[in-house]
């Protein structure tokens, strides 16, 4: 009788353990189709980081204009570190941009100015190029059809990689235009970029988007061009760190900036 009770007790214990295990089991996540992944890649974003670059070069040297930008906030603001590299030397500037002004770090003093007068582009141009990037939020049918997908799985989470190559002229121009229009750091540089955009020969373009789980993780686009017989041009835009700067704001030290002094070129 004692043995029978022991067996019954063990049976209940086993059933209890099995029941507990079944509750803890997670339903396996099924892989997304390419169509579903493309839809995930289209998702809008509130904040993140983007690096925009324009490279002009030959076989022996190159010049690079680069804007490393974090963006976000209730009303989007942009924190930009501009870099220009030429002949092995690099110069950099720091600035904040909001709806009203650009704030420039003058080392010991912050200055404010009109963004368009300073660089040739305005807040709306910047927002259109970064926040409303149609290559991400509304890709053309040609781009979507060119995408090839690879997937991997780690710890139950799928990572999907979409890649595409294209030589479609309209698509390349559409991708390059906002980069040319918003990477310039002066009005003179803006004029040069505008000319390159018009007379350069568009050759090829590469896209890459990575979706981890159900969210866009990174997005890159690079357009390759020729300028004359010897010079090449490469423009690029690389996104990442989505959702990392939702509460970004212009710091008080910058917001309390002085007006940027203007140079009077008139002869007295």
pLDDT digits (tens, 9 = 90+) for 5-38: 444 454 444 444 444 444 445 556 789 999 999 9
Neighbours of 15 (CB within 10 A): 10
Residue of 223, 235, 253 lying closest to 67 (CA atoms): 235
Banded pLDDT at 253 (limits 50, 70, 90): very high
d(CA 19, CA 64): 63
Mean pLDDT to the nearest integer, 97-115: 94
Checking if the pLDDT of 232 tops 90, the result is: yes
Residue of 263, 112, 80 lying closest to 104 (CA atoms): 112
Checking if the pLDDT of 264 tops 80, the result is: no
Contact 249, 73 (CB under 8 A): yes
- Residue 60's SS3 state is coil
Mean pLDDT to the nearest integer, 207-220: 94
d(CA 102, CA 187): 14
Mean pLDDT to the nearest integer, 101-113: 93
d(CA 182, CA 126): 6
User: What is the pLDDT, as a whole number, of residue 10?
Assistant: 42
User: What is the pLDDT, as a whole number, of residue 30?
Assistant: 86
Checking if the pLDDT of 108 tops 90, the result is: no
Distances from the Cα of 42 to the Cαs of 113, 206, 218, in angstroms? 35, 17, 12
User: What is the pLDDT, as a whole number, of residue 26?
Assistant: 54
Checking if the pLDDT of 150 tops 60, the result is: yes
User: What is the pLDDT, as a whole number, of residue 15?
Assistant: 40
Lowest mean pLDDT among 78-87, 143-152, 254-263: 254-263
User: What is the pLDDT, as a whole number, of residue 8?
Assistant: 46
d(CA 252, CA 268): 38
User: What is the pLDDT, as a whole number, of residue 1?
Assistant: 53
Model pTM? 0.85
- Residue 24's SS3 state is helix
User: What is the pLDDT, as a whole number, of residue 16?
Assistant: 41
Spatial neighbors of 27 by CB under 8 A, at least 6 apart, are: none
- Higher per-residue confidence, 237 vs 265: 237
Residue of 220, 245, 244, 249 lying closest to 234 (CA atoms): 220
User: What is the pLDDT, as a whole number, of residue 267?
Assistant: 46
DSSP labels for 100-147?
S-EEEEETTEEEEE-HHHHHS--HHHHHHHHTT-HHHHS--HHHHHH-
Banded pLDDT at 107 (limits 50, 70, 90): confident
CA–CA–CA angle 127, 134, 205 (5° rounding) = 115
List the structure tokens of 249: 């704001």
- Higher per-residue confidence, 240 vs 1: 240
User: What is the pLDDT, as a whole number, of residue 200?
Assistant: 96
User: What is the pLDDT, as a whole number, of residue 263?
Assistant: 62
Per-residue pLDDT tens digits for 30-48: 899 999 999 988 888 999 9
User: What is the pLDDT, as a whole number, of residue 112?
Assistant: 96
The average confidence (pLDDT) of the chain is: 88
- Indicate the DSSP class of residue 265: -
Strand partners, 147: none
Residue of 250, 220, 208, 196 lying closest to 56 (CA atoms): 196
Mean pLDDT to the nearest integer, 133-137: 92
d(CA 247, CA 74): 7
d(CA 38, CA 242): 17
- Residue 40's SS3 state is helix
User: What is the pLDDT, as a whole number, of residue 28?
Assistant: 60
């Amino acid at each position: 009788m004692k043995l029978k009770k022991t067996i019954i007790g063990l049976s209940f214990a086993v059933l209890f353990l099995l029941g507990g295990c079944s509750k803890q089991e997670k339903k396996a996540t099924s892989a997304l189709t390419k169509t579903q992944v493309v839809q995930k890649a289209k998702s809008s974003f509130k904040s993140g980081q983007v690096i925009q670059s324009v490279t002009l070069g030959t076989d022996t040297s190159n010049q690079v204009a680069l804007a490393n930008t974090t963006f976000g906030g209730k009303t989007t603001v942009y924190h930009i570190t501009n870099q220009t590299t030429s002949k092995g030397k690099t110069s950099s500037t720091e600035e904040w941009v909001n709806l009203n002004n650009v704030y420039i770090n003058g080392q010991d003093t912050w200055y404010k100015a009109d963004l368009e007068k300073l660089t040739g582009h305005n807040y709306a141009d910047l927002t259109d190029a970064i926040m409303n990037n149609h290559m991400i939020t509304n890709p053309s049918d040609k781009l979507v059809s060119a995408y090839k997908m690879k997937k991997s799985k780690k710890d139950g989470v799928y990572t999907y990689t979409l890649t595409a190559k294209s030589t479609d002229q309209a698509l390349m121009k559409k991708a390059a235009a906002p980069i040319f229009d918003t990477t310039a750091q002066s009005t003179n540089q803006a004029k040069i970029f505008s000319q390159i955009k018009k007379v350069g020969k568009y050759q090829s373009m590469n896209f890459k988007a990575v979706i981890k789980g159900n969210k866009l993780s990174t997005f890159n686009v690079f357009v390759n061009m020729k300028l004359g017989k010897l010079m090449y041009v490469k423009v690029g835009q690389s996104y990442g760190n989505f959702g990392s700067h939702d509460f970004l704001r212009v710091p008080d030290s910058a917001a309390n900036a002085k007006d940027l002094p203007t140079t009077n070129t008139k002869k007295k």
